[in-house]
Structure 1
Amino acid sequence: MTGAGFVEAVGWTLLNFTWQGALIACETALHLVLLRNASPQSRYAVACTGLLLCLLWPLASLWMRLSGGSAADGGVALMLVGAGAGSPADLGWSGVLGMNLAWIVGAWALCALLLALRMVAGLLWVKRAAAHEARDPAWQVRLDRLAAQFGLRRQVRLRIVANLSSPVTAGWWRPVVLVPASLVTTMPAHLLEALLAHELAHIRRHDYLVNLIQNAIEALLFYHPAVWWLSRRIRAERELIADQLAAGQLGEPRRLALALSELEKLQFSTTRLAQAANGGDLMSRIKQLVRPESQSLNWKAALPVIGFALAALAGCAQQQPAKVQQDATAMNMGPMKIHAKVIETDAVADFNSCPRPVYPAVALQNKVEGTVSLGFLIGANGRVLDTTLRESSGDASLDQAARIALAKCSFKPATVNGTPIDRWTDVKYVWAAH
């Protein structure tokens, strides 16, 4: 795979995810609406599945492109639909995007790198706070007692931090709870203990690891609103689950609700690299603790479904088939008609330009036969840019001999309206030991 081919594969994967992500979000939103009165654990599982699919679908598409599968055709989305192949304006959106894939991939890589560095900086800040911030022996004893009630065997460290406004949980193997100094001095002890119970619920559920995966997905797919919407739903449901678990251990849901009410008066923390007690909608969390109510279906609940459905349809409409062959199409514009003709040809090998594949001696001696199917990426200059094995003959030596020999052939490049383009083409070679 050449560098240009890799960039092209990544670029089309990113662009195709615009409609794929919208489709995933639409399906997830529909399930969340149906589960609006179910347990937060059920909604949490659905939202996590949706976000995971947002990562797996483009990864699978990229793998298929890089391995030369059906999604790897360089022209899957770059189909010319205008009245010629001259200027970018004639190419439609797919053509314009295809001509700027290098810039698109470069901008995506730069933004993803910056978000990754921001994530690393946050992790380093948490590590430094856990190592150097002040300790409070009295509150450490309280936290140890609570941790024992939650069945946590690993020690949970407690640190007092000056520049926080909400307790924050970080770490998995050596978990730590960072508590704002303002809460230690101003909040009643029994209310702060309730907030600590909420943080221990996150530790018991290993939410820190899930949150790290969320941040990684957000960094990679930052450009898609569906990813941020799904992450926001995951965090909201996660907080409700932690509230339920903490309230069950405390035996006093109203105490946790009162602690959250007091916390609402403080400035919200913006960190997302750790679990904070002020995550989600505090008022809705308080209502769920004090007076749980069933949610009725209204038009606002349908907005995410409708919005993502329209985005998915718009993205699918931009997709072009791998090969389009039209004699002519006509567009009516008042009294005028503009006829557009798109003619494509496939790459054709000139087998007289290269030596015939040499039968491997061992395979010939053993009379090994078979048919190998190879894929060749033919450049606009007629030369082979990359090769891939589509279907093996059953013998690796036959496959390799055919690949090496046929890669030396010259090809007549594929064309669109007479313009040579890069495109994959398949070649089969039959080995017969006579």
Structure 2
Amino acid sequence: MSAAEGWVLGYLLNSVWQVPVIFVAGRLAARMARRSGPELEHRVWVIALLLQVALPACRFRPGGLFNEIVGLILRGSVGTGGEVRVVVDSGVTSGLGMAWLSKEVLAVAAVAYGCSVLYFAARLGWRMGRTWQMERQAKAVMLAGDAMQRWERCGRFFGCASARVAESEVIGGPVTVGVRSDVMLVPPGFLENIAEEDLDVVMAHEFAHMRRRDFVKNLTYQVLSLPVAYHPALWLTRARVAESREMVCDAMAAEAVAGSERYARSLLRLASLLVKGAPDKTLHAIGIFDANSFERRVMRLSEGGVEMRGVRRVGTAAACGMVGLVTCASALGLRMEVPAPATAAVAQDAGSARLTIPAQKMDAVYKRPPVYPAQAREKKDTLNGPVVLDVIVDEEGVPSDVRVRKGLRSDYDESALAAVKEWRWTPYLVNGRHVTVNTTVTVNYFLGK
């Protein structure tokens, strides 16, 4: 198994359980943010979607940061000026996950995952191709009279004066498309058959999408989420992103047409268009019917409650952020890795059957920081340099033997030995079994000026 396959399988393994965990946390944070308005709720869901994509790829260990903080505290408690740096290379791997599976099974899983990503990428590309073809084939509409005045008024209100209108036979309701320039597409005859009051609502809603650049944002989210597009929990998150986005546009459009009650009534009348022709789900487009959540949207508009402002809003945002931090820390702390096969990742010890594992392949779950020798610091008889230790880690992750391979001086060597003897590692797995391994730890002593 190559390093690329190992990374892909590690991403897949962690995304299987991290994506639903983030969805649950996002749902909790979104519920907390609901009283603060649809904008904050929408941001919560967007952040949740981005975390679902990024977190499975992160290999940062919160425990390592905790150990560094503890080390700083301990070093500060024994005096100033002394600093000990522990070097175990940059990478870590837990040895957990799919080590019990054969290389062939892991290779098949990697290929299957790659095929799924290619499938969702091809489907997105096909939808975008259909959308751009629809935009090119749409017939431009020249508004006149009262309709033109309403369009210009909306354009000035939302700052989108360059937007255009066109008709397309492909769609069942108004949608917005366009990357460089915004276009509102409507079905043939839509503008002639719709009431003036409802036309204001449609224009305001689509201009809100244009103002927010929702077409480009939605395309970006879908491209970024391709690595976890296979996961049902991501589908739920994307549905919440679309739903909250529509609520944001509803609030903006209601302000443009002077009242949420009027807007809600028009929204209910426009819902009948869904019966005549539902939106084409094979297109990548943004419209007033996009989220299919009319009931909740109308209820939200009809509530008429006062949104939280000021300190309460800041407190709510901080609470949502805390939920996100706890979720990320937990997911990273429980991260699993797919270890490379023993033949590629380790070397055989010449004197025994024990495996020698490079430091970057070992995951130290606890590190007691070495203490700079007090006598050396007091006498100012200090040395800077490394102490290299050979460590035998048993099946439980406990160092059974620690010896100095390259020393600095006896007091420095004893300090390094005393600290590393209390370290603990995640037991190393080979073919599903915990094994005793050899590894190396380098402790760098440095006395600050």
Shorter-chain TM-score tier: 0.5 to 0.7
- Show CA shifts across 1:358-396 (max 9, x none): xxxxxxxxxxx98799xxxxxxxxxxxxxxxxxxxxxxx
Change (3 A) 1:7 1:252: same
Deviation at 1:348, TM superposition (A): 6.8
Query: Partner of 2:218 in structure 1?
Result: 211
Provide the C-alpha distance between the structure 2 equivalents of 1:135 and 1:32, rounded to a whole number of angstroms: 40
Q: What count of residue pairs does the alignment treat as equivalent?
A: 310
AA in 2 matched with 1:152: C
Change (3 A) 1:166 1:417: closer
AA in 1 matched with 2:44: V
AA in 2 matched with 1:197: A
Is 1:346 matched with 2:364?
A: no
Query: Partner of 2:168 in structure 1?
Result: 161
Query: Partner of 2:295 in structure 1?
Result: 283
Change (3 A) 1:10 1:51: same
Residue 25 of structure 2 is aligned with which of 14, 24, 27? 27
Point out the more displaced range, 254-263 or 22-31.
Answer: 254-263
AA in 2 matched with 1:210: K
Is 1:76 matched with 2:96?
A: yes
Change (3 A) 1:72 1:177: farther
Residue 268 of structure 1 aligns to a residue in which SS? Answer: coil
TM-score by length of structure 2 reads 0.59
TM-score by length of structure 1 reads 0.61
- Show CA shifts across 1:202-247 (max 9, x none): 1111222221122124432122222122211111111111011011
Provide the C-alpha distance between the structure 1 equivalents of 2:38 and 2:332, rounded to a whole number of angstroms: 31
Is 1:220 matched with 2:227?
A: yes
Contact 2:50–2:225 (CA<8 Å) still a contact in 1? no
The 5 A counterparts of 1:264-283 are: 264-265=271-272, 266=274, 267-269=277-279, 270-271=281-282, 273-280=284-291, 281-283=293-295
Residue 4 of structure 1 is aligned with which of 2, 23, 36? 2
Query: Partner of 2:112 in structure 1?
Result: 107
Change (3 A) 1:71 1:161: farther
Provide the C-alpha distance between the structure 1 equivalents of 2:245 and 2:213, rounded to a whole number of angstroms: 11
Is 1:151 matched with 2:159?
A: yes
Is 1:125 matched with 2:130?
A: yes
Point out the more displaced range, 189-198 or 4-13.
Answer: 189-198
Deviation at 1:293, TM superposition (A): 6.1
- Root-mean-square deviation (CA, aligned residues, Å) is 4.1
Change (3 A) 1:315 1:22: farther
Query: Partner of 2:241 in structure 1?
Result: 234
Provide the C-alpha distance between the structure 2 equivalents of 1:48 and 1:146, rounded to a whole number of angstroms: 27
Residue 165 of structure 2 aligns to a residue in which SS? Answer: strand
Residue 34 of structure 2 aligns to a residue in which SS? Answer: coil
Change (3 A) 1:320 1:59: closer
Change (3 A) 1:252 1:315: closer
**Which sections of structure 2, spanning at least 5 residues, go unmatched?**
61-88, 308-325, 340-352, 359-383, 389-427, 445-449
Change (3 A) 1:415 1:58: closer
Provide the C-alpha distance between the structure 2 equivalents of 1:252 and 1:217, rounded to a whole number of angstroms: 36
Deviation at 1:317, TM superposition (A): 8.7
Residue 116 of structure 1 is aligned with which of 111, 115, 121? 121
Deviation at 1:128, TM superposition (A): 2.4
AA in 2 matched with 1:274: A
The 5 A counterparts of 1:300-315 are: none
Provide the C-alpha distance between the structure 2 equivalents of 1:272 and 1:321, rounded to a whole number of angstroms: 38
Query: Partner of 1:379 in structure 2?
Result: none
Contact 1:168–1:178 (CA<8 Å) still a contact in 2? yes
Contact 1:21–1:54 (CA<8 Å) still a contact in 2? yes
Provide the C-alpha distance between the structure 2 equivalents of 1:321 and 1:271, rounded to a whole number of angstroms: 37
Deviation at 1:182, TM superposition (A): 4.8
Change (3 A) 1:348 1:283: closer
Residue 181 of structure 1 is aligned with which of 183, 188, 191? 188
Query: Partner of 2:47 in structure 1?
Result: 49
AA in 1 matched with 2:245: R
AA in 2 matched with 1:283: E
- Show CA shifts across 1:336-375 (max 9, x none): xxxxxxxx943379xxxxxxxxxxxxxxxxxxx98799xx
Provide the C-alpha distance between the structure 2 equivalents of 1:348 and 1:52, rounded to a whole number of angstroms: 35
Query: Partner of 1:366 in structure 2?
Result: none
Point out the more displaced range, 286-295 or 4-13.
Answer: 286-295
Deviation at 1:250, TM superposition (A): 1.4
**Which sections of structure 1, spanning at least 5 residues, go unmatched?**
63-67, 80-94, 296-308, 323-343, 350-368, 374-413
Change (3 A) 1:145 1:34: closer
RCO comparison, higher one (Cα < 8 Å, 6+): 2
AA in 1 matched with 2:154: L
Residue 36 of structure 1 aligns to a residue in which SS? Answer: helix
Residue 139 of structure 2 aligns to a residue in which SS? Answer: coil
AA in 2 matched with 1:268: A
AA in 2 matched with 1:177: M
Residue 141 of structure 2 is aligned with which of 136, 154, 177? 136
Query: Partner of 1:82 in structure 2?
Result: none
Deviation at 1:318, TM superposition (A): 10
Change (3 A) 1:168 1:425: farther
